Amino acid sequence: MLTKLWGLLLIVAVGTCIAMAQPPAGSVAARITRWVDGDTVEVRLLDAVPGLGSWERVRLLGIDAPELGERWATEATRFLREMTMGKTVHLELDRQVRDTHSRLLAHVWVEGGSGWLLTGEELLLAGLARTLFIPPNAVYQSQFQRAQRLAQAFCRGLWQTACVILDVDDVEADPVSYVTDAVSVRFVLGYWEKRSDGRWVLHAAGSRYGFHVILTPELGTDLEGDLVRSLGRSVIVRGVLGWLDRRGPFVEVDVAEQIELPEGWPALPFVHGPYSGAPASTEATVSWTAERPLSGRVEYGPWETFVASASLKLTQEHAQGSFSGRETVHLRLHGLEPGTRYAYRVVLDEDTASWTSPVGTFATAPVAGEPVAFVVIADTQWQWDGVNRIQLVGDALATDPTPFQFILHAGDLVESPIPRYWDHLFASLSGALLRAPFLPVLGNHERNSVTYYRAFDLPPGGGQEGKRWWALEFGDVIVVGLDTNVTRPQEFHDQIEFVRERMSGDFACRFVIFHHPVFSSDAIYGPGGEGLQVLWHPVFVELGVDIVFSGHAHNYERIERDGVIYLVVGGGGATLRPLAEERLEGTQVGHDDRHFYVRVVTAVDGIHVEVIAVARQLDGDVVLSPGLLDTFTLPRK
């Protein structure tokens, strides 16, 4: 049985341990003559080594196996014997050579099927030892800790107590019984945060003592989009339960196998969403598309209440439609509190079956003078192969630490307005769409299709279905969305009158968004829309517009003309295009090799803008490259 277990662990070790083709340089060859227990052996050195005897008792570094007479001690000793019997081992010393009992301290290497392996690490993987590092010896510490976490994740040996899944309420009812033990805890993910040290912290909703999970920076980054899509859903984590006096019970996670997230999203019968739109001071819309008409409801409530209790007590019902095929629903919520963040989820029902979405959030418009934050993307479109660039941008946006209140999109959402492309967009942005209301404008690739108008609930506006152009009043911020794809001259003039009318109020911060750039140094589309330069630019100057956002050109550029800032923000995932070597008059910053999004925060001291790089296009490949492309501040007018 032990031989089979050893073989199985060797298979696991290939993907988790560092196997070396040769034993480490400077290591000492030896034969084990006696196995005292799971972490102590007696050896005969095969060569004379200054300072060492021919026979030595060796204490394995980095681990602590059960003492003789304790549970798992016999299994640990047998496991070590199975690995090393009849083989030459190599002893690797660290800074401190002997302990207080005069035992030689060493890592013991043995040759296995995939190369030379650390016996201590193999014991940890089997769950037959715990990590133990005493300074100054620290070689392989992170590697050993990872092996121990894997054993905990798979409930091996010492960590078999983690096989039973406990609800967080059970653990917190008697925490003393579980602290320092390996546990599997099921909890509802309430919210997450990124700490200043780079670690991610996942907080349980409704936890009495503040149960939380601490992820390494690397694992948090790998899981970021999946974490957003898991809000309000059950998560299982495995590891040793710790307790911090002020922060409560926790489990540390540094291997993906320790955490079990819900199935991917969207999941049938949901096809798109849920997502939100058209926020106002006391109203907002929750939307979704199901593969067939189903009855359902939106459960919602203040965000703070959800975090504290994991419950959403308000409901808005949706009756099942009587037609066949996909159904897109826009359910308007009324009677909300101004300036309040809400949590929501959608529950669909059919006979005895029920499906629940992740939890999303939206914020109602605040009173004038309160800060407002939003993000902007453009030109997501489509890609035919390689890494999903739209999802890279969407997941980065979804985990942005700023509590932004809506998402703007400057058009070209899809390559073509047919279901295949809409499905790709909604799946790629599923995490981002749960964060805040989504407010797009038409690009040329949407072709003014009815599928665009059916997909989104937008603020009050004009043109076709009252959605072709629109205006959002949010506190003392106004955003006007326009359509540069119109073909009749009168429609351009109609939009001028719309902008003038909607911006006649007392707004401290004024933004406009549409697809085609007024000014651009793009190698193909430069110098921009010359008709827009004549027709719309003077109006923006007259009305004191702060920033105009556009896309179409797949690059980033900041241009200032007559006091108006024009931002070309076509880095949402479509194939990037070069800027011309000669830049336009007024160009201040330009980049043509990054996928990115824009973050805007309006505050008392001005409008703060940051352009957040996500990935870089390098020699035909897309490489994650987070950073800051541009930053500037405008005064409030």
Cα torsion 27, 30, 32, 36 to 10°: value is -50
Confidence tier at 9 by pLDDT (50, 70, 90)? very low
What is the topology classification, in CATH, of domain 164-260?
A: OB fold (Dihydrolipoamide Acetyltransferase, E2P) (2.40.50)
Q: What is the mean pLDDT of the chain?
A: 93
Average pLDDT over residues 245-253: 89
* pLDDT computed for residue 5 by the predictor: 35
- Overall average pLDDT of the 529-553 stretch: 97
The answer on pLDDT for 441 being more than 80 is: yes
- In this prediction, residue 14 carries a pLDDT of 36
pLDDT confidence tier of residue 4, bands split at 50, 70 and 90: very low
| pLDDT confidence of residue 11 | 34
Q: How does pLDDT run across 582-604, given as a tens digit for each residue?
A: 999 999 999 999 999 999 999 99
List Cα–Cα distances, 623 to 116, 161, 389, 613, in angstroms.
33, 41, 10, 11
Instruction: Please tell me the predicted confidence (pLDDT) of residue 620.
Output: 79
Give 522's DSSP letter. Answer: B
Among positive and negative, which fits the CA dihedral 154, 160, 161, 165? positive
* Average pLDDT of the residues in 288-316: 96
- The full set of domain ranges for the chain reads 2-158, 164-260, 270-363, 372-634
CA atoms of 281 and 497, how far apart (whole Å): 25
Average pLDDT over residues 486-506: 96
Supply 599's token pair.
């973050």
pLDDT given at position 213: 97
What kind of fold does domain 372-634 have according to CATH?
Answer: Purple Acid Phosphatase; chain A, domain 2 (3.60.21)
AA letter at 194: K
How high is the pLDDT of residue 18? Answer: 64
Model confidence pLDDT, tens digit, residues 558-571: 999 999 999 999 99
Residue 36 has pLDDT above 80, yes or no: yes
pLDDT of residue 263: 85
**For residue 107, is pLDDT > 60?**
yes
Helices (H), 429-567: 430-433, 450-455, 489-502, 530-535, 537-543
3-state class (DSSP) for residue 494? helix
Whole-number percent of the chain with pLDDT over 90: 88
Phi, psi (rounded to 5 degrees) for 450: -65, -25
Indicate whether 457 pLDDT > 50.
yes
Q: For residue 114, what pLDDT is reported? A: 83
- Read off the pLDDT of residues 373-404 as tens digits, 9 standing for 90 and up: 999 999 999 877 889 999 999 999 999 999 99
CATH node for 270-363: 2.60.40.10
Pairing of the two strands 259-260 and 295-302: unpaired
Q: Tens digits of per-residue pLDDT, 139-182?
A: 999 999 999 999 998 999 999 988 899 999 999 999 889 998 89
Q: Say what the pLDDT of residue 590 is.
A: 97
Q: What CATH fold (topology level) applies to the domain 2-158?
A: OB fold (Dihydrolipoamide Acetyltransferase, E2P) (2.40.50)
Please name the residues in contact with 584: beta carbons below 8 A apart, sequence gap of 6 or more.
Answer: 519, 520, 521, 526, 527, 528, 559
Residue 384 is predicted with a pLDDT of: 74
Residue 16 has pLDDT above 70, yes or no: no
pLDDT of 266 > 90? The answer is no
Give the percent of the chain with pLDDT over 70: 97
The confidence band for 209, taking pLDDT boundaries of 50, 70 and 90, is very high
Identify the pLDDT of residue 19.
77
Please determine whether the domains at 270-363 and 372-634 fall in the same fold group of CATH. Answer: no
